[in-house]
Amino acid sequence: MNIQPVVEVRNLTKRIRNRNIVDQIHFDLFPGEVFGFLGPNGAGKTTTIRMMVGLISMSDGDVAINGHSIRGSFQEAIRHVGAIIENPELYRHLTGMQNLKQFARMANGIPQSRIDQIVQLVGLSARIHDKVKTYSLGMRQRLGIAQALLHAPAVLILDEPTNGLDPAGIREMRQLVRKLAAEEGIAVMVSSHLLAEMEQMCDRFGVVIDGRLRTTFALADLQNQSETQTLEEKYIQLTEVVSYA
Ligand SMILES: Nc1ncnc2c1ncn2[C@@H]1O[C@H](COP(=O)(O)OP(=O)(O)OP(=O)(O)O)[C@@H](O)[C@H]1O
């Protein structure tokens, strides 16, 4: 079976003042997989993600979404992308439903039935008519994801979605992400430093160090030759440069 990638990142580079803070990053994302984007602070993850969604320009390379170039056919490409890069933009004095309706009006042509379907999917049905200011951070994140899903994107990109969430919120986020990939066939890309969490959430990983993609590997690759490594052990091995022993 030959599955087409949803996202093709090709030699993506960001140069600022003669320094490549993202340096020829190259990977694919496939439908229905959760891809964990890992790396130390300042490695270049957010910069990569911001280029992938057109928030900042690329110095070199390109990103194709469903075959459409972010550089060449931005509107066509971005149609297939849902993303939460910083905190989701929400009106706190409106209800969750009012927020979604407002967003749907701006996006044009999203029927109420789609909104209802998404509310159910993100598990907010019981509280959707309450004001957002009464929501927990986890609920606000899920409402943000609902917004990002309204236009039925093929890929969902989440930069540190579990930041600041309590253990229950983290668990709900993980279950939601897994469901979106498994049941909706969405390709999900998640960046995070919570390795134990990422090990449970993701199918495949990419590790960025100093702007370069050091390696990609599958969750299954952690169990190898009768030896099992945790994601944390593998990550430390890959990123360790100085021994303090
Ligand atoms: N506009 C800018 N001008 C100069 N340097 C920048 C700019 N934006 C980012 N950088 C630098 O580029 C590097 C990569 O930053 P980036 O935010 O992409 O890292 P990150 O992997 O997302 O880190 P973290 O895990 O801390 O969020 C850092 O050294 C950062 O200081």
**Cβ atoms within 10 Å, residue 121:** 18
Q: Is the CB of 42 under 6 A from ligand 1?
A: yes
pLDDT in tens for each of the 245 residues of the chain? Answer: 568 999 999 999 999 999 999 999 999 999 999 999 999 999 999 999 999 999 999 999 999 999 999 999 999 999 999 998 877 789 999 999 999 999 898 877 899 999 999 999 999 999 999 999 999 999 999 999 999 999 999 999 999 998 889 999 999 999 999 999 999 999 999 999 999 999 999 999 999 999 999 999 999 999 876 778 899 999 999 998 655 55
Residue 94: phi and psi, rounded to 5, are: -100, 165
Statement to judge: residues 67 and 112 lie in one domain: no
Instruction: Tell which atom from ligand 1 comes closest to the C-alpha of 44.
Output: 18
Statement to judge: residues 169 and 215 lie in one domain: yes
Q: In what order do the strands lie in the sheet with 204-209?
A: 81-84, 155-159, 187-191, 34-38, 204-209, 212-218
Q: Is the CB of 55 under 6 A from ligand 1?
A: no
**Cβ atoms within 10 Å, residue 79:** 15
Domain region containing 48: 1-80+153-245
Q: Is the CB of 21 under 6 A from ligand 1?
A: yes
Calculate how far, in angstroms, residue 39's C-alpha sits from the geometric centre of ligand 1: 12
Statement to judge: residues 237 and 175 lie in one domain: yes
Structural domains counted in the chain: 2
For position 183, which CATH number holds? 3.40.50.300
Global pTM exceeds 0.80: yes
Q: What's the pLDDT score for residue 107?
A: 79
Residue of 47, 50, 207 best suited for mutating to test ligand 1, as the one with most atoms within 8 Å of CB: 47
Calculate how far, in angstroms, residue 226's C-alpha sits from the geometric centre of ligand 1: 38
Statement to judge: residues 143 and 163 lie in one domain: no
Q: What's the pLDDT score for residue 226?
A: 72
Residue of 14, 19, 21, 59 best suited for mutating to test ligand 1, as the one with most atoms within 8 Å of CB: 21
Kindly give the residue spans of alpha helices, DSSP state H, lying in 95-166.
96-107, 112-121, 137-149
Statement to judge: residues 147 and 158 lie in one domain: no
Tokens linked to 85 = 């890069």
Statement to judge: residues 103 and 59 lie in one domain: no
Task: Specify the residue with its C-alpha closest to ligand 1, atom 18.
Answer: 44
Q: Is the CB of 43 under 6 A from ligand 1?
A: yes
Calculate how far, in angstroms, residue 159's C-alpha sits from the geometric centre of ligand 1: 13
Statement to judge: residues 136 and 161 lie in one domain: no
Statement to judge: residues 184 and 223 lie in one domain: yes
Q: In this predicted complex, what is the ipTM?
A: 0.95
Statement to judge: residues 226 and 216 lie in one domain: yes
Q: What's the pLDDT score for residue 244?
A: 56
Q: What's the pLDDT score for residue 88?
A: 77
Statement to judge: residues 67 and 170 lie in one domain: yes
Distance CA 107, CA 98 (A): 14
